[in-house]
Amino acid sequence: MSDHDYRPKSKVGQWFNDRLPLLTLANHLTDYPTPKNLNYWWTFGGILTFCLITQIVTGLTLAMHYIAHADMAFESVEHIMRDVNYGWLIRYIHANGASMFFLAVYIHIFRSLFYGSYKSPREIIWILGIIIYLLMMAAAFMGYVLPWGQMSFWGATVITNLFSAIPLVGEGIVTWLWGGYSVDNPTLTRFFTLHYLIPFLILGLVVLHIWALHVPGNNNPVGIDIKKPSKDTVPFHPYIVIKDGFALLMFMIVFAFFVFYAPNILGHADNYIEANPMVTPAHIVPEWYLLPFYAILRSVPDKLLGVVAMLSAILILAILPWLDTSKIRSAVFRPLYRQFYWILVADVLVLGYVGAMPAEGLYLLIARVATAYYFLHFLVILPVLGFKEKTLPVPLSITEPVLGGSPNLAAARNKESKIE
Amino acid sequence: MSEKKTKRRDFLFTATTAVGAVGAAAVVWPMIDQMNPDASVKALASTEVDVSSLTPGNTLTVLWRGKPVFIRRRTKEEIEEARAVKMEDLIHPEKDEDRAKNPEWLVMLGVCTHLGCVPLNDKGDYNGWFCPCHGSHYDTSGRIRKGPAPWNMEVPKYEFVNANTIKIG
């Protein structure tokens, strides 16, 4: 990195920076050479940072009014909605913010899948991302329990019961998680504690995620290694800052639409009924962002194997860099992978749809086929494709295709070295 | 540095690590165990239910340890149906005679053994219970017949204190 020789202009700046090199860090972040061809799919990292901060700020303010007790939680949420100044706004931002967070993270993940951003040398960035994603799911699940409505209670019951599938120790683990013989007050108070903790763990992991990113630098739509800094890069500020900022504003319009015009459309009406351990709602479904995994869970008729399949569906992503054997990163130059990519996208959407439907008849059949295909994609298609696929010629630099160059190695290398 | 001094440092290193590890383990256990059911939760171990108002063909649902317990006064047809089932047709083979000592009364946890939902009365393909969450069907003895649940609904420890009162737990 070229910023080691950075020196602040002012005397005070120099004095401070010699003692704590924060200004060097700021300079690194401003000058950070970024591929000049990043498209709008690359703006979701910034959008996700915004989502995290939004959840932390609104969450802290909600915690000032919320009461984590089985007898009072439901009422305290209604108190927030009706009595607290702008409580409705803060809660709707927080509740819909979770959905927006997942919307952005899914786009972010599928961008990585399309452009091969998880491949060497970016495996650690990818794995950190998967851990963040897992923590997001844990935080979202526990947050959904806090209003102590019917969906909160029964969602908590069903999800914690997943652990009872573990042979021998399963029941003991579930009792330990509950702090009792059913989901009750001890469960609520510990979920509140963990729900409060996890965002800060995510924040720490985001710092590592960005740190790991800044070592090799960004991948780009062409998916090739580029020289940094060079004619293929632009400094992060102002080029990427303004692009991220514009995309963020567009994203906030969508966000605001949900908060102000359809604040409950992504939730379930049953959660406005207080938790009742005697009655299970007729149709239990998790929040939309967990539906594909829920569909996988239900498509397996065996309890333990269903849980194993669901967890594998997530954890398989962690070893993706080694399952994909192709050396070419971007799907732009992988004509076959590009088609399988879109089939996978459709497959996950289908899983999400059947996850919301009752698990019977045709829906169950579709869920089973889609589940099988999901694993087939990662375990068979990706490894084989790397050997079988005839990829298109990859340009040597980002600038090259723009200048109309052919994949002529010698000519392009000459061109590169002259400009350097 | 003499050899003797190095040996002393090695000893200190090993001893410190060993004592530290034991100390850490001793502190970790209370931190884990505090999450297990506390004394006040365990104290709610049994409950007594008056079943005098229950007529045949009806179910009473009571809360015991935060979980619903179904008390069903079964009709003759239900008992016959439950007792006529062959063991080899069952996913989790249990005789109805063992599940309901007094055939008229079926007492069991109203908790689906799949993921813990409360099954619905008088529903499903076997005239017993049906779990709306993931589609498990139970028969008139609360035994799993179809669906993802692995076991029959659990029969808790209970006894008739007198003709009209059941003590659960």
ipTM value, please give it: 0.79
pLDDT at A411: 53
* Helix segments in chain B, DSSP class H: 3-33, 39-42, 76-84, 96-99
Contacts of A96 (CB under 8 A, 6+ apart): A255, A258, A259, A263, A266
Dist. CA A51–CA A89, nearest whole Å: 16
Whether the CB-CB separation of B82 and B75 falls below 8 Å is answered with: no
- What's chain B's average pLDDT? 89
Per-residue exposure over B126-156, b if at least 16 CB sit within 10 Å of its own CB, e if not: bbbbbbbbbbbbbbbbbbbbbbbbbebbebe
Are the beta carbons of A181 and B61 separated by less than 8 Å?
no
Which positions in chain A touch B150 (Cβ < 8 Å)? 302-303
Dist. CA A17–CA A378, nearest whole Å: 48
Which positions in chain B touch A305 (Cβ < 8 Å)? none
pLDDT at B124: 87
Dist. CA A113–CA A119, nearest whole Å: 10
Q: Evaluate if residue B169 carries a pLDDT over 90.
A: no
Number of neighbours of residue A30 by Cβ within 10 angstroms: 14
Instruction: Give, in degrees to the nearest 5, the angle at Cα B127 between B121 and B133.
Output: 50
Shortest distance between the Cα of A49 and any Cα of chain B, in A, equals: 33
- pLDDT, mean of residues B84-102: 89
Per-residue pLDDT for chain A (420 aa), expressed as one digit of tens each?
444 679 999 999 999 999 999 999 999 999 999 999 999 999 999 999 999 999 999 999 999 999 999 999 999 999 999 999 999 999 999 999 999 999 999 999 999 999 999 999 999 999 999 999 999 999 999 999 999 999 999 999 989 988 988 999 999 999 999 999 999 999 999 999 999 999 999 999 999 999 999 999 999 999 999 988 888 999 999 999 999 999 999 999 999 999 999 999 999 999 999 999 988 887 888 999 999 999 999 898 888 899 999 999 999 999 999 999 999 999 999 999 999 999 999 999 999 999 999 877 899 999 999 999 999 999 999 999 999 999 999 998 888 765 555 555 555 555 555 544
Q: Evaluate if residue B45 carries a pLDDT over 80.
A: no
Q: Which of B132, B166, B169 is nearest to B154 (CA)?
A: B169
- pLDDT, mean of residues B121-127: 88
Dist. CA A248–CA A245, nearest whole Å: 5
The answer to pTM > 0.80 is yes
What would the pLDDT profile of B4-14 be if each residue is shown by its tens digit? 667 889 999 99
What one-character-per-residue DSSP string does A40-57 give?
A: GGGGHHHHHHHHHHHHHH
Shortest distance between the Cα of B92 and any Cα of chain A, in A, equals: 13
Are the beta carbons of B133 and A303 separated by less than 8 Å?
no
Residue A34 backbone phi and psi in degrees, to 5: -120, 140
- Report helix, strand and coil shares of chain B as percent, to nearest 5: 30, 25, 45
Dist. CA A219–CA A330, nearest whole Å: 9
Whether the CB-CB separation of A50 and A93 falls below 8 Å is answered with: no
Q: Choose, out of B31, B34, B41, the residue to mutate when testing the contact with A (most A CBs < 10 Å).
A: B41
Q: Is A279 on the interface with B (CB under 8 A)?
A: yes
Dist. CA A67–CA A255, nearest whole Å: 27
Longest dimension (CA), chain A: 77
Of all residues in chain B, the percent with pLDDT exceeding 70 is 97
Number of residues written out for chain A: 420
Are the beta carbons of B63 and A277 separated by less than 8 Å?
yes
Number of neighbours of residue A311 by Cβ within 10 angstroms: 15
Residue of B nearest to A279 (CA): B118
DSSP three-state, residue B159:
strand
Tell me the residue type at A336: L
DSSP three-state, residue A340:
helix
pLDDT at A409: 55
DSSP state at residue A91: H
Which positions in chain B touch A183 (Cβ < 8 Å)? 66
Dist. CA B149–CA B131, nearest whole Å: 9
Dist. CA A80–CA A61, nearest whole Å: 10
Distances (CA, A) of A221 to A53, A245, A331: 28, 20, 9
Q: Which two tokens stand for residue A364?
A: 């169950």
Dist. CA A96–CA A259, nearest whole Å: 6
pLDDT at A2: 46
Exposed, middle or buried: residue A113 (CB in 10 Å: 0-12, 13-18, 19+)? middle
Dist. CA B24–CA B18, nearest whole Å: 10
Whether the CB-CB separation of A73 and A67 falls below 8 Å is answered with: yes
DSSP state at residue B136: E
